[in-house]
Amino acid sequence: MTAAAAASEATPAASGLFLTLEGGDGAGKTTQAALLEDWLMARGRRVVRTREPGGTEVGAIIRDIVLHHRGDVSPRAEALLYAADRAHHVATVVRPALDRGDVVVQDRYLDSSVAYQGAGRILGADEVRDLSLWATQGLLPDLTVLLDLDPAAARARRDADDKPFDRLEAERDDFHARVRAEFLRLAAAEPGRFLVLDATAPADDIAAAVRTRVSALLDARTS
C-alpha cells in the first residue's frame, strides 16, 4: 500500500475523542497526560488513559522486549513488534473506549513509530506509517500534542532522573536528532491534527494550551 493510499484510508476516532501525546523521551508526556486526565474528569468526561507500548497485557510483554531486551533486536523486527502492540491495543482498548464515547488520552501512537523506526532507524517514514495504518485499520487521533524538546535538553532531564536508559533512550545523539526532526516534519504536514508546544515551558502553561485546544474539540462535538 502506498502512503497516499494509506492516508486515504485513515479514519478519525469514532464517537469519542482520541488524544495522543508525542515527543522525545523526557519531554514531559506523562505529566501532561495526567494533568489532562484530571481536567477532563473534572468536566465530567469518562477518560481512558493509556500508553504504547504496554497498554495491554500482551503489550506489556512487547514493551519489555522492545525497550529492555538485552540482546539485539533488528530494526524491522522492532518496527513489527510496535505495530503488533498497536494493533492489539487499538482493537481491545482504544476503539472500544471511543465507541463508548470516552476520551482516550494516550502516551505515544503511530507518530512515534514513524519518528523512531522510520527516521531514527532509517526504515522509511512512509513504510512505517503504512504499517501502523494497516495495523489499526486507519485510526488517527483527533489531536496529537507534540512536546518539542532539544535532544541535549532531553538527555539532561533523563540524566537527572538517575534511572537506567532503555534501548531507545540509550541511542546516540544523531538518532535522537533524526527523531525530533521527523516529529516536526509530521506536525508541519498535518497542522490540523498537531499542536506543537515548547516542552521547556512551565508545565502549567503547557497544560493550559492543551486544554484550550481540547475544549474547542469538545465544544465542536456538542454543538
Question: Taking 90 as the threshold, does the pLDDT of residue 107 lie above it?
Answer: yes
Strands laid side by side in the 194-198 sheet: 47-51, 103-107, 17-23, 143-148, 194-198
More confident residue, 69 or 137: 137
C-alpha to C-alpha distance for 136 and 119, rounded to whole angstroms: 21
Q: Within 13 Å and on the Cβ side, how many CA atoms surround 212?
A: 8
Which position has the higher pLDDT, 210 or 5?
Answer: 210
Which helix (H) or strand (E) covers residue 185, if one does? helix 173-189
Express as a percent the part of the chain with pLDDT over 90.
74
Cα separation, 125 vs 165, in Å, equals 25
- Please tell me which residue, 202 or 162, carries the higher pLDDT value: 202
Comparing CA positions, the residue from 147, 80, 57 lying closest to residue 108 is 147
The 10 Å Cβ neighbour count of residue 169 is: 16
Instruction: Give pLDDT, residue 1.
Output: 44
13-64, pLDDT tens digit by residue?
557 999 999 999 889 999 999 999 999 999 999 999 999 999 999 999 998 9
206 vs 154, which has greater pLDDT? 206
38-42, 131-135, 219-223: lowest mean pLDDT where? 219-223
> 139 and 16 in contact (C-beta within 8 Å)?
no
Tell me 26's DSSP state: T
Summarised one tens digit per residue, pLDDT across range 166-186 is 667 667 788 999 999 999 999
- Residues 169 and 155: their CA atoms lie apart, in Å, by 8
The full set of domains in the chain, from first to last, is 3-222 (3.40.50.300)
